Amino acid sequence: MKRILTVCLGNICRSPLAEVILKAEAQKLGIAVHVESAGTAGYHVGAQADSRSIQVGRKHSVDISKHKAQKFIPAFFDQFDLILVMDKNNYRDVVAQATSAEQRTKVKMYRPDELDVDDPYWGKDADFETMYQVLQEHATSHLQ
């Protein structure tokens, strides 16, 4: 079974939503996957997802209300096959913790065009909707 970790900064806005979208798309396609999410920073460890991400998820029928934030740790390099980061800062922060070329090659930008999934934390509700659309658009590309 493919094991995928989605990663953002706080693990409360982007990566928890990416996690459930990947699970939902995998289920629709009948693909068995294990998906978790984590943040490169520890500010929100143990916290629920951001209420605005919970809301936008609810609007699109995905539930992240039970999410609890966790911090990325180097052990995840061995526990996951693919580590999908949301932006270039996440990429830098995760790759800096890799200790081999094999670990480094597991880290990929979520967007296939390698643009950032922009951080909506300081933004408006519309930025959360845009984030959802971007995450949804590219989800199936990670399930091949």
Please report, for the chain, how many H helices and E strands are present, in that order.
6, 4
Q: Is the dihedral of CA 67, 64, 41, 109 positive or negative?
A: positive
Give the whole-angstrom CA distance, residue 57 versus residue 128. Answer: 9
Give the interface segment with ligand 4NP, choosing from 6-14, 25-33, 54-62, 70-78 (CB under 6 A): 6-14
Does position 5 bind ligand 4NP by CB under 6 A?
A: no
CB of 36 or CB of 119, closer to ligand 4NP = 119
Tell me how far, at minimum, the Cβ of 74 lies from ligand 4NP, in Å: 19
Contact between 94 and 18 (Cβ < 8 Å): no
Nearest C-alpha neighbor of 83 from the set 130, 20, 142, 21: 142
CB of 43 or CB of 125, closer to ligand 4NP = 43
CA angle (47 as vertex; 121, 20 as ends), nearest 5: 70
Known catalytic residue at 8: yes
Please list every residue from 40 through 69 that binds ligand 4NP, using CB under 6 A: 43
Does position 93 bind ligand 4NP by CB under 6 A?
A: no
Q: x/- site string to ligand 4NP, residues 101 to 120, per CB under 6 A?
A: ------------------x-
Does position 36 bind ligand 4NP by CB under 6 A?
A: no
For the chain, the first-to-last Cα distance in angstroms comes to: 12
Give catalytic residues, as residue numbers: 8, 14, 119
Residues of this chain that interact with ligand 4NP (CB under 6 A) are: 8-14, 39, 43, 119, 121
